Amino acid sequence: MIMDRQTRSGLDEPREMPNANTPLLRLEDVRTELQAGASIVRAVDGVSFHINPGETLGIVGESGCGKSMTAYSIMRLLPTGGRIASGSIQFNGRNLVELSAQEMRHVRGNDIGIVFQDPMTSLNPTMTIFNQVAEPLRLHTQLDSEAIRNRVIETLELVGIPHARERLGSYPHELSGGLRQRVCIAIALVCQPKLLIADEPTTALDVTIQRQILELIDGLRKRLRMAVILVTHDLGVVAAHTDRVAVMYAGQIIETAPTAELFARPRHRYTEGLFAALPERAHGRGRALYTISGRPPDLSDPPSGCRFAPRCRHATDICRTGVPEHEEASATHSFRCFHPVGADEELIDLNPAIETASPDAGQREPVVTFRNVVREFHLGGGGILGGKALKVSAVADVSFEIEGGKTFGLVGESGCGKSTISRMVAALDHPTQGEITVAGENLFSLSRRELRQRRRNVHLMFQDPSASMDSRMRVINVLREPLEIQRMGTRPEQDRKVLELLDQVGLPQTMLDRYPHELSGGQRQRLALARALALEPDVIVADEPVSALDVSIQAQILNLMRDLQRRKGLTYLFVSHDLSVVRYMSDTIGVMYLGKLVEVGPADAVYTSPQHPYTKGLIESAPTAEVAAKRSFVIKGELASAINPPSGCRFRTRCPIAQEVCARIEPKLAFSGGPQKVACHFPLPAIPPEPAAVH
């Protein structure tokens, strides 16, 4: 007989679980309402689903569709003014809706664990890692101090934190993003819950860390026989890490099916549109991404009939007046749609061909040139104070060019030097050595006054437009500010320019008097692009411009950027960790690792036939909605310290094919039988075509 977990400390004996064929969790017609001023928002409206022990259910949809609010309803963690208006949430034989606050506190963190999106906001910066992981044990068990310490260490080791004992006294800010997320998972798992809810657990992480976290959750699910609800807008994550999928729209579940079946043959037109908007479905730069017009409805006053009808290209009168009932495509696949994708209908190509060349197509001169650029940051030490002088090798002997009117995609993990290069292109940071020219001029040889004038030729788009705009300024002032700083035009001319910018990025003039926080995520990113265009620059540096957006909004922004590039001849430096987005946007891709360019070449060649093991590992780590190929290169561990980088090849400490020569000699960036350059002693061969089947 399994011992009660309150009297034992080991994690190897899983808790007693219910019958695998009996649902662990079942929601029946759940309705959650939020009080918003005088209005009532129906955030969750009639949701029903179940999940069995050991199963992973993915919940997907755009922001505002009710995914997270469904998860918080299960946990009874609703914001002020929120309540479960009706329905039942049966968990392991108990209706959570009927439990008292005290009874629910015993369930929360004990039988049901949750992992939030941002570990920095969910971890307490004033508490050590040990105290934060130990807290649920102190609340829910009778373990003594020694047993709690042992359980915490075991759990930290279980989630893959190296040197767990030495980390007990660390604080969250002393850990990397990947380790912080592992700590959050440890907190959720330390009481061995029957159900784990993961709400966007990997959105802000690099693809390598993302893969490690998701595989960790998969492994723990199997080992501890727990159920997992994975809430995300990343369809690639859902395709690779779930058993079943529930698609949500406007507070309702509109389609649910086994994962493989849903991705092979979606039936609801909204699901079809989400899949068509994926960059990997566009099949190259010659195709525009499909976009779902409009935005999700206001849930305080949802439309009658099918809630997707105002955005659906197949909608008819019945869609606007009638409410579609659940239909079954199979015993495990249901949907709610009057005009579903036909049973014998293949996914049609929704990505139209587009013109990609600028008006003066052809070979053009480089607009941005890096020649042997080095950027080091000194951390002190040495001199009269003594001690060893420390420096961070952020960028180490990097050379590349960006042709006018083209896009150079820069990829790599956090800390590899991408943002440092971006800042140097915009003349916001100076190289320690080497030369950087923009439009033929070495910006760092100019006087301060001349540099201020030339800076208008390069503009930055940041990852988080909310943080890069003054929250006290209205849209009209956000767009007028760069014109005023550069003293361009009279006030009437500036006002006309602002209206022109809004028109270029597809924003209505009614938004002029709004503040940035009153706009949606996609509208804020359009505003950021409009501001970047205000001074009519030749070069735009886009630093993770779509990483936080839903796939449908992401498609709109990427199409807009491509269209503006074609019409205006813009040159982009596009920085991202999403390789499918970089491939779609870029003519050339550069792959960085720990301050070094390790591979650079035509986008399709780098993506489809990578020659550096790091590039191949990045590509294989990225979850996509396509059928996953066999993964032969697994990038383990985390980036080495840039204060003391490894000798020879900097990637060798994580490389699956490293040999002794890699530690002694630094490889040079050179051609190796393909169209791209690679810095590797043992470059990978080009991927051969599929062999013909032998009968």
402-429 residue pLDDT tens: 999 999 999 998 888 998 999 999 888 8
Residues in the chain: 695
Instruction: Please indicate, yes or no, if residue 632 is contained in any of the structural domains.
Output: yes
| CA separation for the pair 291, 314 (Å, rounded) | 14
Evaluate whether 625 touches 236 at the Cβ level (below 8 Å).
yes
User: Which residues of the chain fall short of a pLDDT of 50?
Assistant: 1-9, 14, 344, 347, 356-361, 627, 629, 689-695
In this predicted structure, what is the pLDDT of residue 15?
A: 53
* Residue of 270, 263, 621 lying closest to 412 (CA atoms): 621
Evaluate whether 571 touches 405 at the Cβ level (below 8 Å).
yes
| CA separation for the pair 678, 399 (Å, rounded) | 13
Reduced to 3 DSSP states, what percent helix, strand and coil does the chain have, rounded to the nearest 5? 35, 20, 45
Single out the residue in 335, 356, 377 at which a domain terminates.
335
Instruction: Please indicate, yes or no, if residue 48 is contained in any of the structural domains.
Output: no
Evaluate whether 501 touches 533 at the Cβ level (below 8 Å).
yes
The pairing of strands 366-380 and 433-438 is: antiparallel
Evaluate whether 178 touches 212 at the Cβ level (below 8 Å).
yes
In this predicted structure, what is the pLDDT of residue 4?
A: 41
Q: Where are the alpha helices (DSSP H) in 64-118?
A: 67-75, 101-107
| 86, β-bridge pairs | 31
In this predicted structure, what is the pLDDT of residue 340?
A: 94
Instruction: Please indicate, yes or no, if residue 609 is contained in any of the structural domains.
Output: yes
Q: pLDDT per residue over 546-581, tens digit each?
A: 877 888 888 888 999 999 999 999 999 999 888 889
* Residue of 318, 320, 263, 270 lying closest to 294 (CA atoms): 270
* Residue of 420, 410, 394 lying closest to 592 (CA atoms): 410
Could you tell me the CA-to-CA distances from 622 to 280, 615, 688 in Å, in that order? 12, 11, 21
In this predicted structure, what is the pLDDT of residue 284?
A: 60
In this predicted structure, what is the pLDDT of residue 2?
A: 34
Instruction: Please indicate, yes or no, if residue 316 is contained in any of the structural domains.
Output: yes
In this predicted structure, what is the pLDDT of residue 521?
A: 74
In this predicted structure, what is the pLDDT of residue 111?
A: 94
In this predicted structure, what is the pLDDT of residue 359?
A: 43
Structure tokens, 182: 């592992």
| CA separation for the pair 65, 68 (Å, rounded) | 8
* Residue of 592, 652, 532 lying closest to 395 (CA atoms): 592
Q: Which amino acid is at 484?
A: E
Domain containing 650 equals: 604-690
Q: CA angle, 456 as apex, 530 and 453 as ends, to 5°?
A: 155
Count: domains in the chain? 2
| CA separation for the pair 480, 486 (Å, rounded) | 10
Structure tokens, 529: 């692009």
| CA separation for the pair 318, 304 (Å, rounded) | 11
In this predicted structure, what is the pLDDT of residue 626?
A: 65
| CA separation for the pair 139, 67 (Å, rounded) | 29
226-239 exposure pattern, b = at least 16 Cβ within 10 A, e = fewer = bbbbbbbbbbbbbb
Instruction: Please indicate, yes or no, if residue 367 is contained in any of the structural domains.
Output: no
In this predicted structure, what is the pLDDT of residue 7?
A: 41
Instruction: Please indicate, yes or no, if residue 630 is contained in any of the structural domains.
Output: yes
In this predicted structure, what is the pLDDT of residue 44?
A: 95
Within 13 Å and on the Cβ side, how many CA atoms surround 563?
13
Evaluate whether 284 touches 351 at the Cβ level (below 8 Å).
no
In this predicted structure, what is the pLDDT of residue 358?
A: 44
| CA separation for the pair 468, 179 (Å, rounded) | 27
Q: Which helix (H) or strand (E) holds 321?
A: helix 317-321
For residue 360, the 8-state DSSP code is T
Strand order in the sheet with 333-335: 112-115, 195-199, 227-231, 56-60, 244-249, 252-258, 333-335, 327-330
Evaluate whether 601 touches 675 at the Cβ level (below 8 Å).
yes
10 Å CB burial of residue 417 (0-12, 13-18, 19+) is: buried
- The alpha carbon of 181 is separated from its chain's Cα centroid by a whole number of angstroms, namely 14
* Residue of 45, 43, 83, 48 lying closest to 63 (CA atoms): 43
Instruction: Please indicate, yes or no, if residue 329 is contained in any of the structural domains.
Output: yes
Instruction: Please indicate, yes or no, if residue 663 is contained in any of the structural domains.
Output: yes
* Residue of 624, 620, 619, 464 lying closest to 547 (CA atoms): 464
In this predicted structure, what is the pLDDT of residue 452?
A: 76
Q: Which amino acid is at 670?
A: A
